[in-house]
Structure 1
């Protein structure tokens, strides 16, 4: 199986030694996406706007790889504060339809750039 780097200017560039995503066979694995604006690198204000921007970034990366949010089978959501779970869920549910992807949600001590939420996804290509 060949792995291929996926990169798009429609999502923030990597801020370390990693790829926005890797395509391997029919699968796409995104790196965790913060709520960063790809044009200026700033974090959106508040957890809901960060979640929205993070999911828009995931969506842009998947589209670059030949997949879409409809093809996502698994996500992981990292939260700075688990008390934000319901607020993030409200935004998350507007990006996905049934059958929803499998998902894990984890509270973490700290995220890069002091973000409030980070989201990664695994999708099967079209």
Structure 2
């Protein structure tokens, strides 16, 4: 499977925390990963407040959301390099830089395509970030 970022101006790619587009070639499938917050991946519904005591720090919330998503990737033997699209929902656009710093810790030099949206509220009280992703699956899966 071949996955590559598409940069109309490759010499400026290092200025972006995401790729304008990602191209996936050859045989593959797609894995759609539901939105994850810093709350535990598996929790009760309706919500039980004790399960959703979250740190206020955006970097820590981003790390926790990514850990939840990593559980899904691991279940399919995928890595961050398989992620081709991220939608990032934040409750405060000023948290963007901290969020991108943590995303870089996990993704390294790989930059999937991405969208960032500021919203009023997320699914858990105190949640400041929610991430959903699309990953490309090798045809062997």
Q: Shorter-chain TM-score category?
A: 0.7 to 0.9
Instruction: Give the number of the structure with larger relative contact order, counting CA–CA contacts within 8 Å between residues 6 or more apart.
Output: 2
Which residue of the partner structure matches residue 79 of structure 1? Answer: 90
Residue of structure 2 in register with 1:5 after alignment: none
Alpha-carbon spacing, 1:107–1:36, altered in 2? closer, same or farther (3 Å): same
Partners of 1:28 and 1:65 within 8 A in 2: no
Segments of 5+ residues of structure 2 without an aligned counterpart are 1-27, 44-50
The CA deviation at 1:63 is 1.5
Structure 1 stretches of 4+ with a deviation exceeding 6 A read none
Other structure's SS at 2:107 match: coil
- Structural mapping, 1:106-121, within 5 Å: 106-114=117-125, 115-121=127-133
Q: Alignment length, in residue pairs? A: 102
> Which consecutive unaligned segments of at least 5 residues does structure 1 have?
1-24
The two structures have a TM-score, normalised by structure 1, of: 0.73
- Taking structure 2 as the reference length, the TM-score comes to 0.66
Indicate the RMSD between aligned Cα atoms, in angstroms: 1.8
Q: Choose which of 111, 114, 122 in structure 1 pairs with 2:134.
A: 122
Q: Is the 8 A contact 2:39 2:124 kept in 1?
A: no
Alignment partner, residue 26 of structure 1: 29
**Which structure has the larger Rg over C-alpha atoms?**
2
Look up the SS of the partner of 2:52 in the other structure.
coil
